[in-house]
Amino acid sequence: MIASRTVFAFILAITLFGSAAFAQEGVTRLKTTSGVTALVKQESVGEFVAICVFVKAGVAEEDGVTGIGNLVARSLFGSNESHSREGVQQSIQEVGGSLEAIWNPDYTLITCVTHRSAVDDALYLIGQAIRNPDFDPETLREALKGVETDAKREGTESFRVAYAALRARLFEDGPYRLPFGGSMDNQRKLNQATCKAYFNKRFIPSNTVVSIVGNVQVDKIEDSLKSAFFDYDRTPPRPTRVIKSQTTADRSLVRRTANTATDLVATGFRCPGLRDKDYPVAKVLEAIMGGGKSSRLFRKVRDSAGLGYAVGSYMPSLSTEGMLMAYVEYAPNHVGADGNPITPDAVVALITDSVQSLIKDPPTNAELERAKRYAAGVHQLAHQRARDRAFYLGWMEIAGPGALLDSDLPLLIAKVTIDDLKRVATKSLAFQASVVVTPAR
């Protein structure tokens, strides 16, 4: 029944896709009796509905068992109390096949994009997964394989290697210093019992936020949520102590290798995180530093020095403590303007000059205005898919500042002044950690 319905849904989606009037958005906040927060953004058009379920089960909630969150996230859609592993997989196909669970340093996220007629079934399936998964041995074995593949892949991606190295320098003592996803050694020791114990402690209503975006009716969603989460009622454990991390005093260049053909040099800085009131200022700072092709980094490194194809900045979505990263990826035999091969130290100097210019030469009004429009524009463009609209809504809620920040952020960005930038740049850019990742021989 569900299968044939999905085919109908696809046919309908094909024929109706694109016909529309303006979507009128408004977010309704719901709370189940057990304490799950749900945010429903009702849109008047579209056939697809995106569901994001966030559970605060990130690196800070692992209690030292690094990697357990990642393994549990990968095992949520194995067998459960009501269905076999095959049955669950079959049901996932029936709601469109896009249901997945991923682990993130701040949360575990379940995402599903489905036809609006299948929302009820999708929520039921998600409810089953976060109420009573089995963590059967076969599922855990599969999950472990996935972790292993991902770990191997990380070794081939110089950007990820650099990111991990910079976190270790910038967040000494804090949870973000740890390898995201955990180590294989740790994860091989985990079993059904340890996974269940962790799951029961962290997957609880007060740690859960559901965000739903699409052409849905709020009252129907409320009914579906009640039914999907009816006995999801575990009580919260004692709150996790938040450890404020220190930045290491070691300022030497970190050297790493990866299975790549290129060199990558990156520098990182601590900056206001999502919960900080200066987060919008940090977004503008990032835009001036390395956002887009008119940023200082791009102009200095790529346009003027002709160095690197991949040049830019990255501000990861970390909620408690923020980080800003500037990077350049280039051929190891790249010859500089003087006719000699360029050294990683010279690239670090080039990036440092560009970044530190933000303190020495504060932005002009024109530069500030462009950066504000760019930062706000990027935020707007990141909301084109229903899945992304659901993500931002839920992420802002689970991470602390609240769902409203999603719509307020462009307004807050518009209010950023040059003085704000000077203040945050002076504080954030005072210490930098640098890493060079070279090809493994």
Partner 1 sequence: MQLTPRLIVRATKFVALLCVSFFVGSLPAHAQRGNQSLLVETGTQLSVLPNGLRLIVKEQHVTHLVTVDVWVKAGAGKELRRELGAAHYMEHMLFKGTAKRKPGEIDAAIEDLGATLSAGTNYDAAHFYTTVDTKFTSQALEVLSDALQNSVLDQTEMDHERSVILDEIVRAQNDFRKQARNQLFEQLFPDQPFGRPVLGSSDSIRNLTRDTLQKFYEKWYAPNNTTIVVVGDINLKEADRLVRDQFSTWAKRDLPAATATEPTSATLLPQPAPQPSDARLIGFPLGIREDITAAAAAKCLAMLLGGARYGKIADGVKSVFTQPEEDPLPKKTLTGKPVILQASLDLVEVDVDFMTNGGAFSILTVAPATSMNAVQQGVVSALRKLQKTPVTSQELEAVKRQAIGKLLFASETGGGQAYSLGEWDARGDFSRSEKLLDAITKLKPKDVLTLADRLFEPARTVVTDFVGRVAR
Q: Segment 52-111, which members bind partner 1 (CB under 8 A)? A: 93, 96-98
Which position among 33, 82, 191, 380 is part of the footprint of partner 1 (CB under 8 A)?
Answer: 380
> How many beta carbons lie within 10 A of that of residue 6, not counting itself?
20
Residue 383 binds partner 1 (CB under 8 A): yes
Q: How far is the CB of 284 from partner 1 (least distance, A)?
A: 12
Which position among 35, 179, 316, 377 is part of the footprint of partner 1 (CB under 8 A)?
Answer: 377
The footprint of partner 1 on residues 324-343 (CB under 8 A) is: 329-335
Q: Which is nearer to partner 1, 203 or 327 (CB)?
A: 327
Q: Which is nearer to partner 1, 156 or 246 (CB)?
A: 156
Q: How far is the CB of 85 from partner 1 (least distance, A)?
A: 14
Q: How far is the CB of 193 from partner 1 (least distance, A)?
A: 28
Q: How far is the CB of 178 from partner 1 (least distance, A)?
A: 25
Listed residue (151, 104, 144, 148) closest to 259, CA to CA: 151
Q: How far is the CB of 20 from partner 1 (least distance, A)?
A: 5
Stretch that binds partner 1, among 5-13, 164-172, 185-193, 314-322 (CB under 8 A): 5-13
Residue 23 binds partner 1 (CB under 8 A): yes
Sequence-separated (6 or more) residues with CB below 8 Å from residue 356:
429
Q: Which is nearer to partner 1, 170 or 284 (CB)?
A: 284
Residue 163 binds partner 1 (CB under 8 A): no
Residue 418 binds partner 1 (CB under 8 A): no
Residue 215 binds partner 1 (CB under 8 A): no
**Encoding tokens for residue 7?**
């085919």
Residue 230 binds partner 1 (CB under 8 A): no
Identify whether the C-beta of residue 135 lies closer than 8 Å to the C-beta of residue 196: yes
Identify whether the C-beta of residue 266 lies closer than 8 Å to the C-beta of residue 327: yes
Sequence-separated (6 or more) residues with CB below 8 Å from residue 371:
284, 287, 288, 291, 363
**Residues forming a β-bridge with 264:** 329, 437
Binding mask 282-301 for partner 1 (x = CB under 8 A): ----------xxx----x--
Sign of CA dihedral 241, 247, 250, 252: positive
Q: How far apart are CA 322 and CA 319, in angstroms?
A: 7
Q: How far is the CB of 273 from partner 1 (least distance, A)?
A: 24
The footprint of partner 1 on residues 29-48 (CB under 8 A) is: 45-46, 48
Which position among 260, 319, 428, 434 is part of the footprint of partner 1 (CB under 8 A)?
Answer: 260
The footprint of partner 1 on residues 386-405 (CB under 8 A) is: 386
The footprint of partner 1 on residues 263-282 (CB under 8 A) is: none
Q: How far is the CB of 65 from partner 1 (least distance, A)?
A: 28
Stretch that binds partner 1, among 34-42, 67-75, 228-236, 370-378 (CB under 8 A): 370-378
Which position among 12, 164, 359, 412 is part of the footprint of partner 1 (CB under 8 A)?
Answer: 12
Which position among 129, 307, 324, 424 is part of the footprint of partner 1 (CB under 8 A)?
Answer: 307
Residue 152 binds partner 1 (CB under 8 A): yes
Which position among 133, 175, 273, 308 is part of the footprint of partner 1 (CB under 8 A)?
Answer: 308
